[in-house]
């Protein structure tokens, strides 16, 4: 098991990102009842990623998330009822695939993902060095960590997943990911419902896509209670491992051939 290592290359050339007609970046912002955090995130996105397109996916929020999203001027996808993070984010992926984006980045509207880190995250994908770049909290010291039990759970899960995909993965639960066209085709077509991040990682790896991790800073939720205790972490890990086990059982032949052809999948 070789360490992938962090890919702190030179920052992506802004001109190449912003002005070249051939490189288009989309940020997918899934939001469920985030009327308070969303405006903050949008302001950061405007400041840090002015060269990126944005699509806000309102996952059936009951509060004023829709109003905030519509007022932003960005493209909004409004789901008629709540699908969960998997369904919401996949809606964004399908939008991105239909519009032929070169890189798609998931940025959660609750504030955990920092728009300022997006440029670092997309660099390896833009350079064609990988199909998926995962922002990991655990590649550098001093970065924001989750609570004690949560970190323990993630570390254990990371060990197991690293064994399955035969690459060193440190943050399998991170949704802060950038997808290239081949990976986008895969997730737009198949993306899990519950706790999608670890399972999607395994699926992408099994389909032959190249995954790398990039050190990324994250922060706690801007709004809301963090109630991750021991029991929740155990339940989460159990469910995730079961889901991964089941996904390993399922036949993936059709999907792998699609990826190998490099064809466009909608």
Residues in contact with another protein by CB under 8 A are 60-62, 66, 70, 78, 80-82, 192-194, 242-243, 246, 249-251
- Show the CA angle centred on residue 143, arms to residues 111 and 158, nearest 5°: 90
Least Å distance between CB 257 and another protein? 15
Beta bridge partners of 26: 53, 104
The answer to whether 53 and 23 have CB atoms below 8 angstroms apart is no
Pick the closer one to another protein by CB: 67 or 232.
67
CA–CA dist 208, 203 (Å, integer): 9
Mention every residue, 6+ apart, whose C-beta is less than 8 A from residue 13: none
HSE at residue 123, side-chain half, CA atoms within 13 A, is 19
Distance between CA 155 and CA 133 in Å, rounded? Answer: 19
| Beta carbons of 202 and 244 less than 8 angstroms apart | yes
Nearer to another protein, 65 or 174 (CB): 65
- Of residues 81 and 128, the one with the C-beta less far from another protein: 81
Smallest gap, in angstroms, from Cβ of residue 89 to another protein?
Answer: 16
Radius of gyration of the chain (CA): 17
Q: CB of 140: closest distance to another protein in angstroms?
A: 34
Cβ proximity to another protein: between 179 and 191 the closer is 191
As measured in angstroms, the least distance from the Cβ of 78 to another protein is: 5
Shortest distance (Å) from residue 135 CB to another protein = 26
Is-contact 184 177, C-beta < 8 A?
no
Q: Which is nearer to another protein, 144 or 193 (CB)?
A: 193
Q: How far is the CB of 82 from another protein (least distance, A)?
A: 8
Q: SS3 for 164-222, per residue?
A: HHCCCCCCCCCCCEEECHHHHHHHHHCCCCCCHHHHHHHHHHHCCCCEEEEECCECCCC
Nearer to another protein, 48 or 63 (CB): 63
H-helix or E-strand containing 31?
strand 25-31
- Beta carbon of residue 193, minimum distance to another protein (angstroms, whole number): 6
265 DSSP assignment: -
Which is closer to another protein, CB of 70 or CB of 226?
70
Smallest distance from another protein to CB 33, Å: 10
> Would you call 50 helix, strand, or coil by DSSP?
coil
């Amino acid at each position: 098991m070789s360490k992938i290592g962090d890919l702190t290359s030179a920052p992506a050339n802004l001109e190449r990102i912003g002005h070249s007609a051939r490189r288009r970046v989309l940020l997918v912002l899934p939001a469920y009842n985030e009327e308070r955090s969303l405006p903050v995130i949008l302001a950061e996105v405007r400041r840090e990623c002015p060269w990126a397109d944005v699509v806000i996916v309102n996952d059936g929020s009951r509060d004023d998330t829709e109003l905030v999203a519509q007022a932003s001027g960005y493209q909004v996808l409004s789901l008629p009822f709540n699908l969960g993070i998997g369904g919401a984010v996949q809606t964004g992926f399908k939008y991105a695939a239909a519009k032929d984006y070169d890189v798609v980045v998931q940025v959660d509207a609750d504030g955990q993902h920092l728009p300022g880190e997006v440029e670092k995250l997309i660099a390896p994908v833009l350079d064609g060095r990988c199909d998926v770049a995962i922002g990991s909290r655990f590649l550098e010291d001093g970065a924001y960590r989750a609570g004690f039990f949560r970190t323990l759970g993630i570390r254990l899960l990371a060990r197991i997943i690293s064994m399955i995909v035969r690459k060193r993965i440190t943050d399998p639960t991170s949704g802060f990911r950038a997808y290239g066209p081949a990976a986008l085709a895969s997730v737009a077509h198949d993306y899990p419902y519950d706790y999608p991040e670890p399972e999607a990682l395994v699926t992408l790896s099994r389909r032959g896509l190249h995954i790398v991790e990039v050190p990324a800073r994250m922060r706690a939720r801007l709004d809301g209670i963090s109630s991750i205790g021991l029991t929740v972490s155990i339940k989460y890990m159990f469910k995730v491992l079961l889901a991964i086990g089941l996904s390993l059982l399922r036949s993936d032949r059709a999907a792998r051939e699609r990826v190998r052809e490099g064809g466009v999948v909608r």
